[in-house]
Amino acid sequence: MAEPWPAVDRDRPTGRRSDNSRTRRQIRTRWLTGIAGLLTVAAVSGCGQLPSDMAAEPQAKSSSSASSRPTAASPSSSASADRSATAKQSAKASAKPSARTKPAAKTSSTPSARATSKASSTPKKSAEPKAIPAGKTLFAPGDDGKQVREVQARLKQIDWFSGSLTDHYGPTTTAAVKGFQDKRNLTVTGTVDETTWSKLTQMTEEPTATELKNAEPAGKAIMKAGQTSDKIKELQARLAQLDWFSEKVTGYYGSVTSQAVQGFQAKRGLEATGDVDQKTWSSLTGMTDQPTKAELSGSDSSSDGGSTAGLDDRCMTGRAICINKSTSQLTWVVDGKPQLHFDVRFGADTTPTREGAFSVGWKAEDWESTLYHSKMPYSMFFSGGQAVHYSSDFAARGYAGASHGCVNVRDLEGIKSLFSQAQVGDKVIVYRS
């Protein structure tokens, strides 16, 4: 047990206090002062660790003057001391950064060398990409040729050129090229240079013959070579009304009919396939009348239009193969009535077809020339080595070629029919009208 504090003897007369009593008062004063300091520290530090600068024991100086009882601090002075201690601690705490808090960056009065410029109220335009330099000029305004047509066709594939293709590099082509160049960030010149041409060919396909000829692509064939029908009779009769078909209406779609259809298609800006699609048929029916029974029957008698006009008088009797070199036509006539009618081709100037009255000397269904080693099917010889026969070259190339003196027929079915009817000894009349 601690020794109790000695009681103050109030009845004791005042006077000089003993040394023993003074010592006790000094001890109690120091003890109370220490407790007050600890309470102040606890109030400031709370439950946390005591700051290092507050760890030292507070220095409380005892008064050198003796007093009958220890002097108690007034509430106002204690509160003031607390506020002062708190303010000091707060100031020191803000002066020293925490381990988990970065110190605030110092504000420099000197502007940075890399300071950005002030924002403008008007936004700046983004830099436009530089145009790709032009290369060597390949085609320019004023040029003419098939390559200009190809340029137009390629531009048309990507909708930069409209209208019909031509061989001339005019204002329309120039405008189309400029638009293409501008869209592709190329140097806009209106001329086709190496860079422009390279870009254009990368984006397009090789133009077809149909495109280059301004022809519309063909659709599905509704009539084609090798077929036989009444509809083909109508086709042949309608083509005959426009002078594209001059043979007898048979209903068989042979090479002559195919050639006639090709010519009609090319003339009308359609893809010349030789087969009849819906576009070809619509175009043909729009330009012709419904064929009559006589036209569909294939009758070619003089009473049906004077088809004997232009025939040599020698052809009007008996059986005769009449060949008119002026009109390039062959007519098979029996007793003055035409039976068959073909396009024919003759020999070149160096190997002309002989003219005059001849007769069929002999026939060969499958013959090959002993001089030129070319095939001569369905041959009917009338003058030495000259004969009437089928020619695949004539069927393929038309009048671009010539024979070695023979009379070429390109209608295979027609020549088959003539070969089956004509006999050795029948007349062959070659003449000019």
Annotation says 406 is catalytic:
yes
Residue 286 burial (10 A CB sphere; 0-12, 13-18, 19+): exposed
Is the separation of the CB atoms in 5 and 69 below 8 Å?
Answer: no
3-state helix, strand, coil in the chain (%, to 5): 35, 15, 50
- Residues 6+ away with beta carbon under 8 Å from 191: 134, 137, 138, 139, 140, 141, 174, 177
The CA angle 400-403-404, to the nearest 5 degrees, is 140
Q: Which residues contact 276 (CB under 8 A, 6 or more apart)?
A: 221, 222, 223, 224, 235, 261, 284
Give the tokens for residue 385: 């080595």
Maximum alpha-carbon separation in the chain? 192
Q: Of these residues, 315, 322, 341, 406, which one is catalytic?
A: 406
Tokens of 270: 């359609």
Q: What are phi and psi of 92, to 5 degrees?
A: -70, -40
The one catalytic residue among 315, 322, 341, 389: 389
Residues 6+ apart with CB under 8 A from 242: 264, 284, 287, 288
- Answer whether 363's CB lies under 8 Å from 380's CB: yes
Closest to 36 measured CA to CA, from 77, 8, 64: 77
Instruction: Name the nearest CA neighbour of 21 among 11, 32, 9.
Output: 9
| Tokens standing for residue 350 | 């160096």
- Residue 263: closest CA among 433, 410, 417: 410
How many whole angstroms separate alpha carbon 233 and alpha carbon 248? 9
Catalytic sites, residue numbers: 389, 406
